[in-house]
A = this chain, B = another copy of it.
Amino acid sequence: MLSMPSSDARSEASSTVLPASPNETGWQRQGKLWSNLKELCELLRIPTTTLLSDEELLFQHVQFKTGQRIHTIGQPFDTLYVVHSGFLKTVLIDEFGNEQVLSFPMKGDLFGVDGIHTKRHASEAVALSNCDLILLPFKKLTALGRTHAEFEHAMYSVMSRELVREQSMVSMLGALSAEARVARFLVSLSERYAEMGYSSKLFNLRMTRHEIGSYLGLTLETVSRTLSAFNEIGLISVDQRSIGIKDIEALKTLRRLPPSSSRAKQLAARKQKAAAANPSHIASA
């Protein structure tokens, strides 16, 4: 069998424990302890054509508290993780100890894949809230792939999806303005929340401005200023960690904000039309 991942007492009692927000009430105090293959595939959004649910193959759950590390850089790899509930971040640490946030895994996301190649984790995963994770011992997975063709395909598919995600990330960092990056970040968060069954219009950020900035290749000040600017022209409402999405279409197509000199007009026009549609002058190429 496999050894439990180190719960890593280094950050034990941990800094700040977030208050349970409305969105997190679905999290159960003790959670379930085992999931079968069918539940796993559903969580991963994998089409499970032929039902292999009859199998009594079970996958163990583990709970982590806010601030705990799931794995650290260099730690021997032997298992992948799927998020059953909760929010995390994965980070790279550069030669001078600076964090680079790579992703914010949440319900249904797979992580730990970077460890396969060198047999050691290339990144670190940290719980941003209390989490319930499903352990996928890698040996077990490969064995399963050998007996179930479609499951093998699913594994490749999920890894391919991760790769495409990273590629679009590279593309974004290489080409988009700060405002466009923040806008897209909000849109993707909104969509993820919708997928998970939460509100796509009103949610709480689970990460700090600093972490968002690191993820988007910006400073925390720029993130803060950009959110304020979006708030000012009515695209969103911001109050600390709480975000309200007001105009998702504008956020989706936004490339660059109009100069601040014309923002006043924007706001005025916006207030008149209230909830009118399609602000075409924002989505300019």
Name A residues whose Cβ lies closer than 8 Å to a Cβ of B: 92, 94, 96, 98, 100, 102, 113-118, 122-123, 142, 145-146, 149, 152-153, 155-164, 166-171, 173-175, 214-217, 285
Contacts and interface: CB of A to CB of B under 8 A. Distances in A.
B167 A114 contact: yes
Contacts of A113: 160, 163
A253 to B, nearest CB: 9
B174 A100 contact: yes
13 contacts: A92-B167, A113-B163, A114-B160, A114-B163, A117-B157, A117-B161, A122-B167, A142-B152, A142-B156, A156-B159, A159-B160, A170-B173, A174-B214
Nearest to A96: B285
Contact of A163 (B145, B166, B215): B166
Nearest to A157: B117
Contacts of A114: 160, 163-164, 167
B285 A164 contact: no
Nearest to A161: B117
Contacts of A160: 113-117, 159
A167 B285 CA distance: 29
A182 to B, nearest CB: 14
